[in-house]
Amino acid sequence: MTAIWRHKAEIAVVSSQGRAVVLDLDRLDLLPIVLTDTAAAIWQAVDGERGDEAVVSRVADEFEVDADEVRAQILAFLDDLAARDLIVRA
């Protein structure tokens, strides 16, 4: 079974259509991260209910592209968000 992605609890987020601004409340010395377009869609797909493939599928559907064409980039971005300690596996 695939682990589910969720946002870290200690973050503040402001979202609008096609954009999310994320602030790590544990690292106030860092600037907020501004996510737009596909990055924001990936962020929003991380909802505490989806694993890797479900996130890939949701984003691919939203942008009307084949999941196989974008899987590697989406998974790499999820890994980047995790490395920044903004998302964790539940």
- For residue 90, the model assigns a pLDDT of 87
Helix, strand and coil percent figures for the chain, each rounded to 5: 40, 25, 35
Distance, CA of 47 to CA of 45 (rounded, Å): 6
**CA distance readout (Å), 51 to 30, 64, 71, 82:** 27, 20, 13, 13
Contact criterion met (CB below 8 Å) for 52 and 75: yes
Out of 3.30.420, 1.10.10, 1.10.3470, 1.10.3210, select the CATH number for domain 9-84.
1.10.10
Query: Which pLDDT tens digit goes with each residue over 53-72?
Result: 999 999 999 999 999 999 99
The pTM of the full predicted model, rounded to 2 decimals, is 0.93
Model pLDDT for residues 3-34, shown as the tens digit of each residue: 899 999 999 999 998 999 999 999 999 999 99
Averaged pLDDT for residues 82-87: 96
Q: Is the pLDDT of residue 1 over 60?
A: no
Residue ranges covered by each domain of the chain: 9-84
Evaluate if residue 76 carries a pLDDT over 80.
yes
Please determine, for residue 2, whether its predicted confidence score (pLDDT) is greater than 90. Answer: no
